């Protein structure tokens, strides 16, 4: 799909600058930025499986809050190590 | 325009990461929309990364270091990072909460939002530490996420333009005090 869009002089300046640094044409960079914004899932979409898992566990918001407070305090007492979550 | 300056407990972030159903998520939505100014520090982010490592949270198999990072990276452009926070406050029952108050002091914040009883008890004047806190820092309020949302909603209501009535001067609005 090809289209014609108008951008502000400030955005044009930044686009030209970034394209030059990246070694791309402004058209290629603009297409990449647009593609990334439209195709990349939003943070809420990305976190939906996790939030669904939490919701389906049946835990209430208050219970979740209490669980997190307990976890925070107990983890503060743990020596720092390079564990992954 | 009033724009609250606020420090969130790491668990406000973490609860919003885990659930979009509660007031913690509402707090983060305010931050995302730029409706409140949120201040964070490396210490807050460290707690945000560390707390999910607790064994009790392993029950949520999709809570991974990657999901936490994704959340942080998405939010950071909306946060104000304060790298060097003078640790001027030492009155919390749990010394590891002191940083949140020091961060609020350093950033001239009006609110600390937390469910942590060690922090919230600073608002209860029956304790001597709390009385000292309230005396020295009367402009800092420590609220639960739900109470903070109500506070913001109330301030927006107060600030909403009032319909002009005949013979009445229009409201001039009020500036944030800090």
ipTM: 0.86
Claim to verify: residue A20 and residue A33 sit in the same structural domain: yes
B-chain CB neighbours of A50 within 8 Å are 17-18, 60, 62-63, 67
Claim to verify: residue A35 and residue A15 sit in the same structural domain: yes
| Residue predicted with more confidence, B178 or B109 | B109
A18, A13, A42, A39: which is closest to A28 by C-alpha?
A: A18
B178 domain-assigned: no
**DSSP H/E element including B149:** helix B145-159
| Residue predicted with more confidence, B11 or A35 | B11
A-chain CB neighbours of B25 within 8 Å are none
Claim to verify: residue A53 and residue A66 sit in the same structural domain: yes
**Predicted local distance difference test score (pLDDT) of residue B175:** 44
Residue position matching structure tokens 């000292």: B132
What is the distance in angstroms between the Cα of A67 and the nearest Cα belonging to chain B? 8
B34, B20, B42, B47: which is closest to B114 by C-alpha?
A: B47
Domain total in chain A:
2
A19 domain-assigned: yes
Helix (H, G, I), strand (E, B) or coil at B89: coil
**Predicted local distance difference test score (pLDDT) of residue B167:** 52
At residue A76, does pLDDT exceed 80? yes
B172 domain-assigned: no
- What is d(CA A52, CA B64) in angstroms, rounded to the nearest whole number? 15
**Predicted local distance difference test score (pLDDT) of residue A39:** 77
B162 domain-assigned: no
A83, A4, A28, A54: which is closest to B51 by C-alpha?
A: A83
Domain extent for B11: 5-156
A1 domain-assigned: no
Residue position matching structure tokens 């909403």: B160
Of the ranges A15-24, B40-49, B155-164, which one carries the lowest mean pLDDT score? B155-164
Which candidate from A49, A51, A69 shows the least CB-CB separation from B116? A69
pLDDT digits (tens, 9 = 90+) for B101-154: 999 999 999 999 999 999 999 999 998 889 999 999 999 999 999 999 999 999
pLDDT digits (tens, 9 = 90+) for B36-75: 999 999 999 999 999 999 999 999 999 999 999 999 999 9
A-chain CB neighbours of B10 within 8 Å are 72
Claim to verify: residue A35 and residue A58 sit in the same structural domain: no
A82 domain-assigned: no
Domain extent for A22: 9-39
- What is d(CA B6, CA B21) in angstroms, rounded to the nearest whole number? 21
A50 domain-assigned: yes
At residue B169, does pLDDT exceed 70? no
B113 domain-assigned: yes
Claim to verify: residue A59 and residue A47 sit in the same structural domain: yes
Which candidate from A43, A75, A80 shows the least CB-CB separation from B71? A43
Claim to verify: residue A50 and residue A33 sit in the same structural domain: no
CATH classification at residue B103: 3.40.50.1010
Probe site for chain A from B19, B29, B71, B147 (most A CB atoms < 10 A) = B19
Which candidate from B10, B20, B60 shows the least CB-CB separation from A72? B10
Q: Does A40 touch chain B (CB under 8 A)?
A: no
Domain total in chain B:
1
Of the ranges A46-50, B24-28, B105-109, B152-156, which one carries the lowest mean pLDDT score? B152-156
Which candidate from A57, A69, A78 shows the least CB-CB separation from B11? A69
Residues B36/B152, Cβ–Cβ less than 8 Å: yes
Claim to verify: residue A29 and residue A53 sit in the same structural domain: no
At residue B172, does pLDDT exceed 50? no
């Amino acid at each position: 799909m090809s289209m014609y869009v108008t951008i502000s002089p400030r955005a044009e300046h930044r686009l030209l600058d970034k394209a030059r640094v990246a070694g791309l044409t402004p058209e290629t960079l603009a297409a990449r930025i647009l593609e990334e914004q439209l195709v990349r899932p939003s943070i809420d979409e990305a976190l939906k499986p996790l939030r669904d898992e939490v919701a389906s566990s049946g835990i209430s918001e208050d219970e979740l809050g209490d669980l997190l407070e307990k976890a925070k305090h107990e983890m503060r007492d743990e020596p720092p190590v390079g564990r992954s979550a | 325009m009033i724009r609250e300056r606020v420090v969130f407990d790491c668990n406000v972030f973490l609860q919003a990461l885990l659930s979009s159903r509660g007031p913690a998520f509402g707090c983060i939505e305010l931050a995302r929309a730029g409706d409140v100014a949120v201040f964070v520090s490396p210490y807050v982010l460290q707690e945000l990364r560390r707390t999910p490592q607790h064994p009790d949270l392993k029950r949520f198999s999709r809570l991974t270091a990657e999901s936490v990072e994704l959340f942080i990276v998405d939010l950071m452009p909306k946060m104000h990072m304060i790298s060097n926070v003078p640790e001027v406050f030492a009155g919390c029952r749990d010394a590891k909460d002191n940083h949140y108050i020091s961060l609020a002091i350093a950033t001239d914040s009006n609110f600390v939002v937390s469910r942590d009883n060690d922090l919230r008890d600073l608002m209860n004047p029956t304790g001597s530490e709390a009385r000292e806190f309230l005396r020295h820092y009367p402009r800092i309020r420590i609220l639960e996420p739900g109470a903070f949302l109500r506070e913001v909603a109330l301030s927006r209501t107060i600030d909403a333009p009032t319909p002009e009535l005949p013979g009445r001067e229009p409201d001039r609005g009020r500036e944030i005090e800090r």
